Amino acid sequence: MGYRFTDLTAACQDDWHAYIEHDFVRTLGAGTLAENAFRHYLKQDYLFLIHFARAYALAAYKSPTLADLRQAHEGLKAIVDVELGLHVSYCREWGISEAQLAELPEARATMAYTRYVLDTGNRGDLLDLHVALAPCLIGYGEIANWLNGLPNTVRGEANPYDAWIAMYEGEEFQGAMRAELEWLDARLADVTPARFQELSEVFRNATRLEIDFWQMGLDGSD
């Protein structure tokens, strides 16, 4: 029997839970997160999306099959043509102009995380890159579902961050998350124990960098 994505989360269970259940996420769900912390996160997440698009471009280069190439192309298009535009509009609702976004300096946590993903993809193969991206691609969907299971999560107009939860609980993102899980499970099923250990280290590092990204937002630090 081969490996699955759940084996990656089990291999770094404490870090995975620290990421999914971070105080930034908890307070966002409760509607008590400081607005300045959320604005700082939104700004840095814009920069992250740009590097995320670059990662998909790298995935296209690394794709061994036409199916993988099409998947990378669709991911790149979705970010450049849709997600970045939506993010700019959402930032505008929070008083952050597109001109401000264009002039943002990168926080150290943003730099560390995005460059790790790109470096991992450059050094490794397509599976390495997908595993490095998985904490974001799969984690955000799991976070939305986890928040909806908490008794103190506030939904609707009473929570200024409700739209954020709605985005990641929505069928579009949840469908993309399920597709990524299927892709990872199919590839992980064929790896050796030694290769799985390498991928577990990539996943652990990326998860820890996601924790730092939340903390950067919570602290409002660069």
Q: Which of 12, 91, 136, 180 is catalytic?
A: 136
Q: Which of 12, 91, 180, 210 is catalytic?
A: 210
Q: What is the pLDDT of residue 183?
A: 95
Residues of the chain with pLDDT under 50: none
Model's pTM, two decimal places?
A: 0.94
For the chain, domains (ranges, CATH) are 5-216 (1.20.910.10)
Active site residue 136: yes
DSSP string, 82-148: IIHHHHHHHHHHTT--HHHHHTPPPPHHHHHHHHHHHHHHHHS-HHHHHHHHHHHHTHHHHHHHHHH
Long-range Cβ contacts of 171-175 (<8 Å, 24+ apart): 173/140, 173/141, 173/144, 174/141
d(CA 7, CA 188): 9
Q: What is the pLDDT of residue 187?
A: 96
DSSP tally for the chain: helices H, then strands E: 13, 0
Q: What is the pLDDT of residue 82?
A: 84
Q: What is the pLDDT of residue 220?
A: 84
Q: What is the pLDDT of residue 189?
A: 97
Q: What is the pLDDT of residue 148?
A: 95
Q: What is the pLDDT of residue 1?
A: 62
Which residues 6+ apart lie within 8 Å of 106 measured at CB?
Answer: 44, 47
